[in-house]
Amino acid sequence: MKNSSLFISVAVALLATSCDSSKKPAAQSPSAEATVAAEKDIPLLPVTKGDTWNYKVHLEIPAGVSSPGAAEVDESFQRTRTYLGKVSAANGLPEVDCFEVIVPGSPHEREFVEIRDDAILMRGSMIMRPDTTQPMWLSHPVPFVVAGMKAGTESPDISAPSGSLTRKTRVVAREVIKVPAGEFPTIRLLMTGMDGELELRRTTWFAPGTGIVREEKTRYRDGKVIFRETQELTATSIKPTKR
């Protein structure tokens, strides 16, 4: 539960639906203003093998949620993300950018993405347990963040055929925030959706040139909070660039 990958909830939705998005917006030529905004974000994430991001994580789970009579959880711990370079998730799959996520006392997790100068695309994830044989893998990459995103930008809605699993993502704002690692200009993304009876609300602050600097994730059942996790960047080997 502590590893809680950024991509895993989206991957579940997309694998369940085979990316059911028949309605695609017509392509439009970007305006000069949008082009300038995008250029300021590039490169979105300049990475070198061995780069690291350290996060302080705070986890809250009310009593009785995980099992009848279970005690309340209110704890903090460290999460470390390390860039491994190009890695194949399994035999027959292409090599893509890979991050290893480590939390003391939990199985390691790998996140698979495609990092481009102007976009980061999600490909999948895998918990590194001895019995793990296949990753959760997206045959078609899905955009996570794109250079030049501005407030109001929305991604296509995602839903399972049954309608029990949904995801919607939009850009809330571009804002400067302060975390233990420093002050960063960020793109604030809000993901909302349902997993059956569970409601998800996830806010991510992505700083172009640095990566994720803050994230808040909350799950609800019948309007009541059953899980809340916040992580903030405390240190990274990535050197901030002037923008």
Residue 155: predicted pLDDT: 85
Beta bridge partner(s), residue 231: 57, 215
Instruction: Note whether residue 44 is domain-resident.
Output: yes
Domain total of the chain: 1
Mean pLDDT of the chain: 87
Instruction: Note whether residue 30 is domain-resident.
Output: no
Taking only the tens place, the pLDDT of each residue in 195-211 is 889 999 999 999 999 99
Domain span at 56: 8-16+39-236
CB 97 within 8 A of CB 113: yes
pLDDT of 3 above 70 = no
Taking only the tens place, the pLDDT of each residue in 18-55 is 444 444 444 455 566 667 778 899 999 999 999 999 99
Return the ∠ at Cα 216 (arms to 214 and 220), rounded to 5°. Answer: 175
Instruction: Note whether residue 3 is domain-resident.
Output: no
Q: CATH code at 111? A: 2.40.360
Instruction: Note whether residue 131 is domain-resident.
Output: yes
Higher pLDDT, 66 or 152: 152
CB 31 within 8 A of CB 38: no
Instruction: Note whether residue 242 is domain-resident.
Output: no
Instruction: Note whether residue 1 is domain-resident.
Output: no
Q: State the pLDDT confidence band at 115, using cuts at 50, 70 and 90.
A: very high
Q: How much is the pTM?
A: 0.86
Q: Residue 12 region, left (φ>0) first, then alpha (ψ -120 to 50), else beta?
A: alpha
Residue 1: predicted pLDDT: 53
Higher pLDDT, 28 or 144: 144
